[in-house]
Protein backbone atom coordinates (compact mmCIF):
# COMPACT_ATOMS: atom_id res chain seq x y z
CA UNK A 1 0.00 0.00 0.00
CA UNK A 2 1.43 3.36 -1.05
CA UNK A 3 1.19 6.16 1.48
CA UNK A 4 0.96 9.84 0.62
CA UNK A 5 3.94 10.97 2.69
CA UNK A 6 3.94 14.47 1.20
CA UNK A 7 0.23 14.82 1.94
CA UNK A 8 0.74 13.69 5.52
CA UNK A 9 3.53 16.23 5.93
CA UNK A 10 1.34 18.98 4.44
CA UNK A 11 -1.48 18.14 6.85
CA UNK A 12 1.07 18.00 9.71
CA UNK A 13 -0.02 14.45 10.52
CA UNK A 14 3.61 13.43 10.69
CA UNK A 15 6.86 15.27 11.00
CA UNK A 16 9.68 13.55 9.16
CA UNK A 17 12.69 12.63 11.27
CA UNK A 18 15.11 14.34 8.93
CA UNK A 19 17.14 17.50 9.21
CA UNK A 20 15.67 19.95 6.75
CA UNK A 21 18.40 21.31 4.53
CA UNK A 22 18.23 23.10 1.21
CA UNK A 23 19.07 19.81 -0.49
CA UNK A 24 16.25 17.96 1.27
CA UNK A 25 13.81 20.79 0.53
CA UNK A 26 14.81 20.91 -3.14
CA UNK A 27 14.36 17.14 -3.51
CA UNK A 28 10.95 17.41 -1.87
CA UNK A 29 10.06 20.35 -4.16
CA UNK A 30 11.08 18.39 -7.26
CA UNK A 31 9.04 15.32 -6.22
CA UNK A 32 5.88 17.26 -5.32
CA UNK A 33 6.05 19.50 -8.38
CA UNK A 34 6.26 16.46 -10.67
CA UNK A 35 3.30 14.87 -8.87
CA UNK A 36 1.07 17.97 -8.69
CA UNK A 37 2.15 19.79 -11.86
CA UNK A 38 3.27 17.00 -14.21
CA UNK A 39 3.63 19.16 -17.31
CA UNK A 40 6.05 21.60 -15.72
CA UNK A 41 9.82 21.38 -15.91
CA UNK A 42 11.53 21.71 -12.55
CA UNK A 43 14.96 23.30 -12.66
CA UNK A 44 16.84 23.77 -9.42
CA UNK A 45 19.67 26.29 -9.87
CA UNK A 46 21.92 28.04 -7.38
CA UNK A 47 19.39 30.86 -6.94
CA UNK A 48 16.67 28.36 -6.04
CA UNK A 49 19.01 26.60 -3.60
CA UNK A 50 19.65 29.94 -1.93
CA UNK A 51 15.90 30.54 -1.73
CA UNK A 52 15.39 27.11 -0.14
CA UNK A 53 18.05 28.04 2.43
CA UNK A 54 16.26 31.35 3.09
CA UNK A 55 12.93 29.53 3.55
CA UNK A 56 14.54 27.34 6.20
CA UNK A 57 16.14 30.35 7.91
CA UNK A 58 13.02 32.52 7.89
CA UNK A 59 10.28 29.95 8.53
CA UNK A 60 12.32 27.58 10.66
CA UNK A 61 13.74 24.14 10.15
CA UNK A 62 10.80 22.57 11.94
CA UNK A 63 8.12 24.20 9.73
CA UNK A 64 9.80 24.74 6.37
CA UNK A 65 9.07 21.32 4.89
CA UNK A 66 5.42 21.36 5.93
CA UNK A 67 5.08 24.99 4.74
CA UNK A 68 6.38 24.12 1.28
CA UNK A 69 4.15 21.04 1.17
CA UNK A 70 1.14 23.14 2.17
CA UNK A 71 1.93 25.81 -0.43
CA UNK A 72 2.28 23.28 -3.22
CA UNK A 73 -0.87 21.36 -2.26
CA UNK A 74 -2.90 24.55 -1.88
CA UNK A 75 -1.32 26.65 -4.62
CA UNK A 76 -4.63 27.96 -6.02
CA UNK A 77 -5.76 29.31 -2.63
CA UNK A 78 -2.29 30.65 -1.81
CA UNK A 79 -2.05 32.30 -5.24
CA UNK A 80 -5.44 33.95 -4.71
CA UNK A 81 -4.41 35.30 -1.30
CA UNK A 82 -1.14 36.64 -2.72
CA UNK A 83 -2.92 38.27 -5.67
CA UNK A 84 -5.15 40.13 -3.20
CA UNK A 85 -2.02 41.69 -1.67
CA UNK A 86 -0.24 42.60 -4.91
CA UNK A 87 -0.55 46.06 -6.36
CA UNK A 88 -0.68 47.34 -9.90
CA UNK A 89 -0.38 44.82 -12.69
CA UNK A 90 1.64 42.27 -10.71
CA UNK A 91 0.13 38.79 -10.48
CA UNK A 92 1.20 35.61 -8.80
CA UNK A 93 2.28 32.91 -11.27
CA UNK A 94 -0.01 29.98 -12.02
CA UNK A 95 2.82 27.53 -11.39
CA UNK A 96 4.51 27.42 -7.98
CA UNK A 97 7.77 29.30 -7.59
CA UNK A 98 9.92 29.10 -4.49
CA UNK A 99 10.64 32.83 -4.64
CA UNK A 100 6.93 33.61 -4.34
CA UNK A 101 6.66 31.39 -1.27
CA UNK A 102 9.69 33.10 0.24
CA UNK A 103 8.39 36.62 -0.47
CA UNK A 104 4.87 35.92 0.80
CA UNK A 105 5.67 33.54 3.63
CA UNK A 106 3.57 35.55 6.11
CA UNK A 107 0.45 34.82 4.05
CA UNK A 108 1.41 31.16 3.88
CA UNK A 109 1.95 30.88 7.62
CA UNK A 110 -1.39 32.59 8.35
CA UNK A 111 -3.15 30.21 5.96
CA UNK A 112 -1.51 27.21 7.64
CA UNK A 113 -2.50 28.48 11.08
CA UNK A 114 -6.08 29.01 9.91
CA UNK A 115 -6.29 25.37 8.79
CA UNK A 116 -5.30 24.05 12.23
CA count, 13 A, side-chain hemisphere, 61: 8
What does the pLDDT read at residue 5?
61
What does the pLDDT read at residue 88?
81
What does the pLDDT read at residue 94?
94
Mean pLDDT of 71-86: 94
DSSP state of 100: H
* Global confidence as pTM: 0.82
Q: What is the domain extent for residue 25? A: 5-115
Q: Is 12 helix (H, G, I), strand (E, B) or coil?
A: coil
Domain count, the chain: 1
* Closest alpha carbon to 96 in 45, 30, 15: 30
CA count, 13 A, side-chain hemisphere, 22: 15
Amino acid sequence: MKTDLAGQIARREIVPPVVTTATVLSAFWRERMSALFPGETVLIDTKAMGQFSQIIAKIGEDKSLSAVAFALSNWAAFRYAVNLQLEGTAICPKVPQIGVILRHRAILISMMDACN
